[in-house]
Structure 1
Amino acid sequence: MTAIQINHLSYTYPSQAKPIFTDLTLDLDSSWKLALVGRNGRGKTTFLRLLAGQLGQQAGIKSPLNFAYCPRSLPRDQSAYLSLLGEQDFELWRLEKEMNRLRLSPDLLDQPFGDLSGGEQSKLLLALAFSQRDVFPLLDEPTNHLDAASRQEVADYLKKSRQGYIVVSHDRTFLTEVSDHVLALENGEIHLYRDDFSGYQTSKQHRDEENLARDRQLRREIKSLENSRRQLAANARQAENSIHSRGKIKPDRKAELSDKGFLSKRAAKVMQRSKNVARRQAREEAAKQGLLSNIEAAPRLDMNFKEDYHRELFVGRQLSLNLAGRELFADLDLVLPSRGIVALTGPNGSGKTSFISWLLGRQGLDCRGDWQLQ
């Protein structure tokens, strides 16, 4: 049964001139596990926020459902329980049930929300969204801040859910596991696929290959028309010049062409005929240009790297880091080279984000030991 109806929806941000959506019409079923995909800036988050009513009520959206947008911004200085309760009412036993399925300890509810790791916050908000009755979750990058093990836990959690949802993620493996339908935003168009993300990728690849082959043929035809039009214009100019050049007119036609009025009429006919043909070819070129597919290509990505003469960017000895009285790590010896790529790994809550925040000068983190930062 269709539970979300979108009729002639258009939306443009007040600060922008280009619309995000124009006359969008779509029917969605609340039982679908729908992956919403598209390149950055195509409107994925905007679509979710429109459904959630965060951008004002839209006449083009009709649904009996209550939408729960996840993630949300919650107060950081009070307990996680009070932060969640201030966002919406919930039954504690239902929330703890969903937390248990996500392998979250109930003790997290007593800690300040801001002291939880990014992964713990993401999973806790996910548990809140699925603990509500008559609520349709809108999941915007639910794997942010999650390590590989936690991403798999969330994927397993969503696969077992009987509840439908819309999910946005850049993790392709994750989307394949948790989707049975795909809604793709591509170049101002929207395509619905009744398949998981892997099936969508296969279908899209075939469509793109067909479009590329058609485009190559169209471009060859357009090039041929352009060459023909240029040749026609050159021939017309040559014909006009030959008419006005007495020396090139055959002797038996000199008397016939001695009348200058006749010469100008003939030249006018030749030029008019060439212009008519050129206009026809120009229209045909424009028609073929309109058939070209607007196939998306990945933009070039450049790293803004600046050379540095230091061989080591950071040197630390016997480091320990504490957050709100909780020791994240101790006796750490660490050297970060100025070249290469360093991966900082560890389970959620082990202090990865806190360590980077300390390097960036965030307050509230107590680090002890000897260190030198270039």
Structure 2
Amino acid sequence: MKIEIKNLNFSFDTLDQPIFRHTNLNIDTTWRLGLIGRNGRGKTTFLNLLMQKYPYEGDIICDIDFVYFPQTILNKKNLTYYAIEEIMDLELWKLERECQLLSLDKEILWQPFEQLSGGEQTKILLAAIFCEESKYPLLDEPTNHLDINSRKIVSEYLKRKKGYIVVSHDRHFIDEVVDHIIVIEKNQLNTFKGNFSTYEKQKQLQDQYEIEQNNQIKVEIERLKKTSKEKANWALKRERNSGNDAFENARAARMMKKSKVIEKRMLSKIEEKTKLLKNIESVDSLTINCLFNHRDPVLRAKNFSLAFNDRLLFKPITCEIYQGEQVALVGPNGSGKTTLLNYIINSNFYGTINGELTIPQGITKSIIRQHYNDNEGILKDFATAHHLDYTLLLQNLRILGVERDVFRIPIEKMSYGQMKKVEFSKSLGTPAEFFIWDEPLNYLDIFNQKQIKSMIEQFKPTLLFVEHDQSFIANIASKIIEINPY
């Protein structure tokens, strides 16, 4: 079946620019489609338009019903099966079958939904989506709350399915589970056959071609401007030198008139050439305020672990982190990664501390947290409260793709993605010797990740981070510390 989009126009009243303008697209529902684009460009909005949740101009023609992930559970205290049955029409045997394909024990269907881990909740909701076989799945960030192993399981699961649209900021995941790409660029939707890596290569070639064409057109425009100016100056000079000679005056007038015609023709050509110039999007570089000194290592652990009620959270670790290293802390969900980071940040822990962990006294730290609901107020006051360079804060937010009209909104009223970028920019602008980031890529798009990768390669900050994105770890980490549940 087909989904046909004709002359789609859509805009929010609060935005200066439309999200989509005169957009046309044809989608085959057997494609495994990845939907990508910079934050704020309309990925979730596009899914909502397909489901007819917003009024729009144009036509969206299709004969299928859609089912959206993540679903909203109304009663999280209810047993998982009944909590899902309350919002979806499904059969138990089908849900058990899909759970098995996702390596879930079917017994979790009879546990309260709120007691499941974030990863289990994600997988059980995915299982429920694919029970509704007559509907077309729209999957919005299915990798949220999943560790590396769970992402592999979900990836293998989706490879068995045929026909869906998936939004994800995990490049490796997208490469694994799609055979076509929809890209949101400049108020338009464009399709490419292949995965994200295929699209990226094609886009680089296309951009390079357009850059070369732009350069040629700009040279031609300058030549036309120069010719026009020379003709006008020559005619003006003849007019001034004509004196009182009637014949020369008439001749100069004709030359001036002719020069005006030539100038008009040149301006018309310049306008035509200017219309051919492509608006190629360029991405500026992020700036990080990292400091270096003579103190090394910045962290040393020897047989170190944390415990609650005499039960270790993870097996003891021994490691060192030196200045200029980018260290990934990896381990399955629930192994204590965030708890360990929090202890490194502020030395607060209400259980038992085993072994040794030392950090040079007075070392300056800059953090990115998983939860940052305490960030609030307008950006200027926020910068003052956190001793940040206000201009640098806005610069990094703009580079990360936050539109200028958002700068006037209190942080607590921003979208999740915008709030994350405030937290990220705060860390970048905080002068520090040691950066500690807990899942920094959450809510950041693939294009942001490239910016962050380039920044880290350029500045080489001393960094300890937790992240589940395999591509990011492979490209960024100079060292890996693995922690395992005890």
TM bucket (normalised to shorter chain) is 0.7 to 0.9
Q: Does the CA-based 8 Å contact 2:10-2:57 persist in structure 1?
A: no
Distance 1:354 1:135 in 2: 41
CA distance in 2, matches of 1:334, 1:80: 43
Most deviating of 147-156 and 285-294: 147-156
Decide whether aligned partners of structure 1 residues 318 and 72 sit closer, same or farther in structure 2, where only a CA change above 3 A counts. Answer: farther
Q: Post-superposition shift, 1:340?
A: 4.4
Which is higher, the Rg of structure 1 or of structure 2?
Answer: 1
Aligned twin of 1:125: 125
* Corresponding position of 1:137: 137
Residue of structure 1 equivalent to 2:92: 92
Q: 1:189 to 1:353 in 2, by over 3 A?
A: same
CA distance in 2, matches of 1:77, 1:28: 35
Quote the Cα distance in structure 1 between the aligned partners of 2:353 and 2:78.
30
Q: Distance in 2 between matches of 1:145 and 1:40?
A: 19
Within 5 Å, which residues of 2 pair with 1:248-263? Answer: 257-259=244-246
Aligned counterparts of 2:189 and 2:171: Cα–Cα separation in 1: 19
1:372, 1:114 → 2: CA distance? Answer: 37
1:288 to 273, 298, 320: 273
Give the aligned residue type for 2:148. A
Indicate whether 1:232 and 2:216 are aligned. Answer: no
Structure 2 counterpart of 1:247: none
Counterpart selection for 1:305 from 277, 286, 289: 289
**Contact 2:9 2:57 survives alignment (8 Å):** no
Segment of structure 1 superposing worse, 345-354 or 301-310? 301-310
Give the conservation status (yes or no) of the 8 Å contact 1:315–1:372: yes
Could you say which residue in structure 2 is the equivalent of 1:350? 335
* Partners of 1:352 and 1:131 in 2: CA distance: 34
CA distance in 1, matches of 2:35, 2:101: 25
Q: How far, CA to CA, are the matches of 2:221 and 2:234 in structure 1?
A: 20
Alignment partner of 1:7 is 2:6: yes
CA distance in 1, matches of 2:259, 2:267: 12
1:251 aligns to what?
A: none
Deviates more, 1:100-109 or 1:7-16: 100-109
What is the CA–CA distance in structure 2 between the aligned matches of 1:66 and 1:357, rounded to whole Å?
45
Deviates more, 1:307-316 or 1:30-39: 307-316
**SS in structure 2 of the partner of residue 342 of structure 1:** strand
* 1:77–1:170 Cα change, 3 Å: closer
Shift of residue 219, structure 1, vs aligned partner: 1.9
Aligned Cα root-mean-square deviation (Å): 3.8
Residues 35 and 179, structure 1, Cα contact 8 Å, conserved in 2: yes
The one-letter code of the counterpart of 1:320 is L
CA distance in 2, matches of 1:332, 1:76: 40
2:123 alignment partner AA: K
Give me the whole-angstrom Cα distance separating, in 2, the residues matched to 1:360 and 1:105: 36
Distance 1:208 1:22 in 2: 22
Report what 2:426 is aligned to. none
CA shift, 1:63, in A, is 2.9
AA matched with 1:153: I
Report how many aligned residue pairs link the two structures. Answer: 354
Q: Trace 1:19-98 onto structure 2 (pairs within 5 A).
A: 19-55=18-54, 60-74=59-73, 78=77, 81=80, 82-98=82-98
Conserved in 1, the CA contact under 8 Å of 2:4 and 2:61?
Answer: yes
Contact 1:320 1:368 in 2 (8 A): yes
Partner SS, residue 181 of structure 2? strand
Identity of aligned residues (%): 36
Could you report, residue by residue, the CA deviation over 1:107-126 in whole angstroms, capped at 9, with x for unpaired residues? Answer: 44455545544433332322
Q: What corresponds to 1:250 in structure 2?
A: none
Structure 2 CA distance for aligned equivalents of residues 306 and 14 of structure 1: 40
Q: Write the distance in 2 (CA, Å) between the matches of 1:345 and 1:55.
A: 41
CA 41–353 in structure 1, closer or farther in 2 if over 3 Å, else same: same
1:92 shift after superposition: 2.7
TM-score relative to the length of structure 2? 0.61
What amino acid is the match of 1:21?
F
Residues 258 and 306 of structure 1: CA distance in aligned 2, closer, same or farther (over 3 Å): same
Q: Which amino acid aligns with 2:273?
A: K
Partner of 2:306: 320
Closer/same/farther in 2, CA of residues 174 and 150 from structure 1, 3 Å limit: same
After TM superposition, list the pairs within 5 Å mapping 1:98-109 onto structure 2: 98-109=98-109
What is the aligned counterpart of 1:269 among 239, 251, 254? 254
Name the SS for the 1:167 alignment partner. strand
Q: Which amino acid aligns with 1:176?
A: D
Letter in 2 for 1:6: I
Would the alpha carbon gap of residues 76 and 348 (structure 1) be closer, same or farther in structure 2, given more than 3 Å must change? Answer: farther
Match of 2:148 in 1: 148
Is it true that 1:215 corresponds to 2:186 in the alignment? Answer: no
Contact 1:79–1:109 (CA under 8 A) maintained in structure 2: no
- Cα deviation for residue 357 of structure 1 reads 7.3
Using the TM superposition, give the Cα deviation of residue 74 of structure 1 relative to its aligned residue in structure 2, in angstroms.
4.1
**Aligned mate of 2:263, from 257, 270, 278:** 278
Is residue 141–residue 169 contact of structure 2 (8 Å, CA) maintained in 1? yes
Q: Does the residue aligned with 1:220 lie in a helix, a strand or coil?
A: helix
Distance 1:301 1:22, change over 3 A: same
Partner of 2:191: 192
Q: Structure 1 pair 79/349, CA: closer, same or farther in 2 (3 Å)?
A: farther
Aligned partners of 1:328 and 1:76: how far apart in 2? 31
**Cα distance, 1:48 vs. partner?**
1.3
Residues 313, 121 of structure 1: CA spacing in aligned structure 2 closer, same or farther, 3 A cutoff?
farther
Which stretches in structure 1 are left out of the alignment for 5+ residues? 245-256
For residues 75 and 334 of structure 2, the distance between their equivalents in structure 1, rounded to whole angstroms, comes to 16
8 Å Cα contact 1:319-1:369 kept in structure 2? yes
Deviation at 1:77, TM superposition (A): 5.5
Q: Provide the rounded CA distance (Å) in 2 between the counterparts of 1:166 and 1:330.
A: 40
1:349/1:68 CA distance change after superposition, 3 Å: farther
Distance 1:87 1:181, change over 3 A: same
Structure 1 partner of 2:381: none
